[in-house]
Amino acid sequence: MAGRNFLFVPGPTNVPDRVLRAMMVSMEDHRSPTFPVLTRTILPGLKKVFRTEHGTPFVFPSSGTGCWEAAIANTLSPGDKVLAARFGQFSHLWIAMCQKFGLDVQIVDADWGTGVPLEQYADILRKDTQHQIKAVLACHNETATGVTSDIGAVRKVLNDAKHPALLFVDAVSSLGSIDFRFDDWGVDMAVSGSQKGLMLPAGLGIMCASQKALDMHAQAKLPRAYFDLQDMMASNQTGYFPYTPALSLMYGLVESLKMIEEEGLDNIIARHHYLAEGTRAAITQGWGMKLCAADPKWYSDTVSAVMVPEGINGADVISRAYKRYNVSLGAGLSKVAGKLFRIGHLGDMNEVHLMSGIAGAEMAMLDCGIKVQPGSGVGAASDYWRKHRAPVGLDQHAQDQVVLQKAA
């Protein structure tokens, strides 16, 4: 079909034109005397996105999964006990990786549609008086179900129990989109990737480590080579990398960080909430359907998982949207496969852009026999966005005023 594909999966996200242009560079010698300028631009910029003064950021040519491995391998030893909750596909996959490394994983199973079970974490950590648990895992934003957990509350649980375990956080689909505070929340390892809130193609694993986590390196006995943080730190200190970096993506990251700085991280977070609220209005008020997230306290501002009626396969809606309307929606994964479809609303996006995803999903649902009122989702989203003030970062008039003030 003519026209562009409308991408509404929760990652990879749309790459802004200026980021694409920034990536169109000739290859260069990554050992040249001038290369460190690139490294020394990126790493401080990432510290701002993680909201940290004390953490150390890392950039690997990998996906976020590579940084999961880096977090584990650089801090833990075979047989170490870790605490993790399973409430979606990605929290499950992180647990599976820990088990492959021979770690003793204490799994807390929670309903899919909920997040980190704080009371159970608190009870387990209080009872662990011998401090056998070495790390606590928390998925900040579970992309499979559209659920965001309270990481500040996880830190409070650890503090209340006076427990020294490291706090590992999966921030893959939250960093740069949902409020994340590395220092304030006492995070020890935060893992992310380039293809979501950072508005880049996939290919960069982004992480941040506390000094407490880095100090565990010497006693950690899990195998590591490619993801050895000490090797990375030694090279980064001189502005280089221990192996060939992903140059094009790094130049794109410089531009992405500029965009984040220009809009303002607080404005970006507010914009994502504003867009998410309009999407949720379309789903619950317009279509009269339910989200996978069991309660508003779990609602994600980067992805909404829409439960389809009994007798309807969510995969059919996704297929129809793609083949007929050139709209890409996210699939249900694992336990929720076929039970839902997902609308990603993160990254470089505004109301009218997002409206196309809502319209495409609505038409595909009607074609698949879901009885929604035509135009109801679009109408509810429009009504929300028209009646609520856009945050400064999304209000073009406000942006224009900032430009004019700078020019004056």
Please work out, in degrees rounded to the nearest 5, the angle formed at the alpha carbon of residue 130 by the alpha carbons of 125 and 131: 50
Tell me the domains of the chain and their CATH numbers: 17-261 (3.40.640.10), 264-387 (3.90.1150.10)
> At a CB cut-off of 8 Å and minimum separation 6, what does 48 contact?
257, 260, 261, 265
Q: Whole-angstrom Cα distance, residue 24 to residue 348?
A: 19
Q: Whole-angstrom Cα distance, residue 380 to residue 376?
A: 6
- Find where tokens 């000739």 sit: 26
Q: Whole-angstrom Cα distance, residue 128 to residue 121?
A: 11
DSSP string, 81-123: EEEEEE-SHHHHHHHHHHHHTT-EEEEEE--BTB---HHHHHH
Q: Whole-angstrom Cα distance, residue 325 to residue 143?
A: 24
Phi, psi for 38 (deg, rounded to 5): -65, -50
Cα separations (Å) of 398 from 216, 392, 395, 404, 406? Answer: 47, 6, 5, 10, 13
- Find where tokens 């074609």 sit: 367
Q: Are 359 and 320 in contact (CB under 8 A)?
A: no
Residue 316, both tokens? 């059919």
Residue 195, both tokens? 């293809």
Per-residue pLDDT of the chain (408 residues; tens, 9 = 90+): 678 899 999 999 999 999 999 999 999 999 999 999 999 999 999 999 999 999 999 999 999 999 999 999 999 999 999 999 999 999 999 999 999 999 999 999 999 999 999 999 999 999 999 999 999 999 999 999 999 999 999 999 999 999 999 999 999 999 999 999 999 999 999 999 999 999 999 999 999 999 999 999 999 999 999 999 999 999 999 999 999 999 999 999 999 999 999 999 999 999 999 999 999 999 999 999 999 999 999 999 999 999 999 999 999 999 999 999 999 999 999 999 999 999 999 999 999 999 999 999 999 999 999 999 999 999 999 999 999 987 775 554 455 555 445 544
Q: Whole-angstrom Cα distance, residue 130 to residue 110?
A: 25
Angle between helices 64-73 and 89-100 (to 10 degrees): 40
DSSP string, 1-43: --S--EEESSSS-PPPHHHHHHH------TTSTTTHHHHHHHH
